[in-house]
Amino acid sequence: MPTTTALLIDFGSTYTKLRAIDLDRRAVLASGQGPSTVATDINVGMRLALEDLGRWMGSLPRFKYRLGSSSAAGGLRIVTVGLVRELTAEAARRAALGAGAKLVGTFAYRLTAADLERIGALAPDLVLLAGGTDGGNSEVILHNARALGASALGCPIVYGGNRAAWDEAKVLLAGKAVICTENVMPEFNVLNIEPARAAIRDLFIRRIVHAKGIDRASGECDAVLMPTPAAVMEGARLLADGCASVPGLGELVVIDPGGATTDVHSIASGAATTAGAVERGLPEPRVKRTVEGDLGMRHNAATIAEVAGVDNVADDARLPAQTVERLIGELARDVGRLPSTPEEHALDRSLARAALRLAMKRHCGTVETVYSALGPINVQTGKDLSGIQVVIGTGGVIAHSAAPLDLLETVLANPAEPESLRPRAPRFLIDRQYLLYACGLLGQAEPQAALELALKYLGDPLAEVTHERAVGG
């Protein structure tokens, strides 16, 4: 009997990546890769990737599923608009990030003529318009709806603001493609981002995939389901929560240092573990994604060094500061460069360590002791991830590293920074085969197969080291 197979495709910004999966044996049959050619004809790169896959597999089977995700053509570029920066504007930001967006602009309060000009120049794929709790402020969102309605903006708009203002807003936005979804903050300090996320994803499938020319690959791909960051997040969610018949790993964090950004996903409540801690600020979503735009191994290597301190990076790499500065300058000129010399390897390691440390620190919350007239009080902001049991490293830098633990250990809590609620003693798993996105996609069709595949392939690096030792000696 022929085996049932699935093809999972990532239409990336540089490469078109394929994973062929044997669904019966829960095994990766082969991987294939081609260039990303979405700017001309996406099918060119897709065919080259399929040829590459065919070379490994002998011949290509008839796939039961051919599912894709995409970060090509600039990713899913979203502009968010809210009212108060820390409230509905922040809720809208989180909804967009959770939908796998590349956030290109975030706006709060009344949009000015200059803001509208900037939004036009950003040319987003979608605008998420929020503002006001239900029955709360409607004046600002109506001002913004009027401004967007009168602008030349051609992209779809998702309305996730004050429900009481929708009827009026709809009229003001006439002529635009508008979808109304539930308010991202229906009550004060109540976060409700799932409906907006679903609406964004729906628009992505129905319109944006077409607008970007990704649907031209429909001969080789049944559906492009979501942006790639959303697929990674779905994979993480499946691994954490499990499915009806197979339990998951429980609360976890995924960290993904990339060429332009470092993404962190947490699937965890983030509830306080400090005794008596008072939680402040917007409630945290259980499924949370943060994107650090200044921490990218290639496009933003210079800013990693700037944020971490060139001297610290140099110390960590055991290189003179001048050498670090020279090498970073070379990276900025040639972002496709892979490390070859011992110096370049040392720098890459230290850049990755700095990016991982900073990205995890920003994703996790803090607890600080405030001394009041009544004695000390512990105030927590953001998620407490100190008790997290599993941290998964994904992305090329970690997958290709000979010593991934040496990179990942930097995400751990540091006694010198007791206020930062980073994981204290998690187990590290490495996504060596770059399977998380594939599992996220496959999980949409066959969750159990996707979950079992992920559990099988996410190697425990400690186990691996033991195994190597056993073989070697």
Partner 1 sequence: MSPVAQPNGAATVVTGVIGSDTHIVGNRILSMALEKAGYKVVALGALTPAAEFVKAAVETNADVILVSSLYGQGELDCRGFRELCIEAGLEDILLYVGGNLIVGKHRWEMVERIFLDMGFDRAAAPGTRVETVLEWLTRDLAAGRRRATEAAG
Of 452, 357, 459, give the one whose Cα is nearest residue 399.
459
Decide if residue 183 touches partner 1 (CB under 8 A).
Answer: no
Which is nearer to partner 1, 136 or 393 (by Cβ)? 136
Task: List alpha helices for 69-108, DSSP H.
Answer: 88-98
Nearer to partner 1, 83 or 104 (CB): 83
Q: With contact defined as beta carbons under 8 Å apart, do 144 and 81 qualify?
A: yes
Q: Choose the binding region for partner 1 from 246-254, 284-292, 366-374, 433-441 (rule: CB under 8 A).
A: 366-374
Compare residues 377 and 465 and give the one whose CB is closer to partner 1: 377
Contact 17, 48 (CB under 8 A): no
The answer to whether 84 contacts partner 1 (rule: CB under 8 A) is yes
Q: CB 343 → partner 1: shortest distance, Å? A: 49
Q: Could you give the CA distance from residue 308 to residue 321 in angstroms, rounded to a whole number? A: 13
382 touches partner 1 (CB under 8 A): no
Shortest Cβ 374–partner 1 spacing (Å): 6
- Residue from 3, 117, 123, 135 binding partner 1 (CB under 8 A): 135
The residue type at 167: D
* Residue 369 contacts partner 1 per CB under 8 A: no
Q: Is 336 helix (H, G, I), strand (E, B) or coil?
A: coil
Q: Decide if residue 132 touches partner 1 (CB under 8 A).
A: yes
Query: Which of 121, 275, 370, 470 touches partner 1 by CB under 8 A?
Result: 370
Q: What is the CA radius of gyration of the chain?
A: 23
Q: Select 109 or 434, whichever has its Cβ closest to partner 1.
A: 109
146 and 172 Cβ atoms separated by less than 8 Å? yes
Instruction: Give 82 or 98: the residue with its C-beta nearer to partner 1.
Output: 82
Residues 106, 83: Cα–Cα separation, whole Å? 11
The overall longest dimension of the chain from CA atoms, in Å, is 76
Cβ atoms 105, 115 nearer than 8 A:
no
Q: Which of 9, 49, 76, 83 binds partner 1 (CB under 8 A)?
A: 83
For 174-228, give the DSSP string.
TTS-EEE---SSSSTT----HHHHHHHHHHIIIIIHHHTTGGGGGGT-SEEEEEH
> Of 207, 237, 185, which Cα lies nearest the Cα of 80?
185
374 binds partner 1 (CB under 8 A): yes
The yes or no reply on residue 129 touching partner 1 (CB under 8 A) is no
28 touches 435 (CB < 8 A): yes
22: β partners: 5, 27
68, 391, 412 from 425: Cα distances, Å: 35, 10, 7
282 is a site residue for partner 1 (CB under 8 A) = no
Residues 203/204/210/213 CA torsion (nearest 10 deg): 160
- 193 near partner 1, judged by CB under 8 A: no
Closer to partner 1 by CB, 69 or 162: give it. 162
> Does 137 interact with partner 1 (rule: CB under 8 A)?
yes
**Of the listed pieces 45-53, 134-142, 285-293, 350-358, which binds partner 1 according to CB under 8 A?**
134-142
Q: Quote the least distance from Cβ 14 to partner 1, whole Å.
A: 41
- Segment lying near partner 1 (by CB under 8 A), choices 144-152, 181-189, 227-235, 402-410: 181-189
- Which structure tokens are listed for 199? 């609406």
CB of 35 to partner 1, least distance (A): 47
Query: Phi first, then psi: what are they for 81, rounded to 5°?
Result: -130, 130
* Cα–Cα distance measured from residue 94 to residue 126, given in angstroms and rounded to the nearest whole number: 15
Q: Which of 278, 338, 403, 462 binds partner 1 (CB under 8 A)?
A: 278
Contacting residue, 55, 280, 400, 456, with partner 1 by CB under 8 A: 280
Q: Tell me how far, at minimum, the Cβ of 190 lies from partner 1, in Å.
A: 11
With CB under 8 A, what is the number of residues at the site for partner 1?
25
- If the CB atoms of residues 51 and 187 are measured against partner 1, the closer one turns out to be 187
Nearer to partner 1, 1 or 374 (CB): 374
Q: CA dist 363 to 164, 250, 356, 360, 423, Å?
A: 34, 19, 11, 5, 11
Q: Binder to partner 1 among 133, 144, 228, 394 (CB under 8 A)?
A: 133
Is 372 a residue that touches partner 1 (CB under 8 A)? yes
Return the number of the residue (368 or 417) whose C-beta is nearest partner 1: 368
- Window 399 to 418, contacts with partner 1 (CB under 8 A): none
Residue 368 touches partner 1, criterion: CB under 8 A: no
β-pair type (252-257, 262-267): antiparallel
The binding site for partner 1 (CB under 8 A) comprises 83-84, 86-88, 132-133, 135-139, 185, 187-189, 278, 280, 370-374, 377, 379
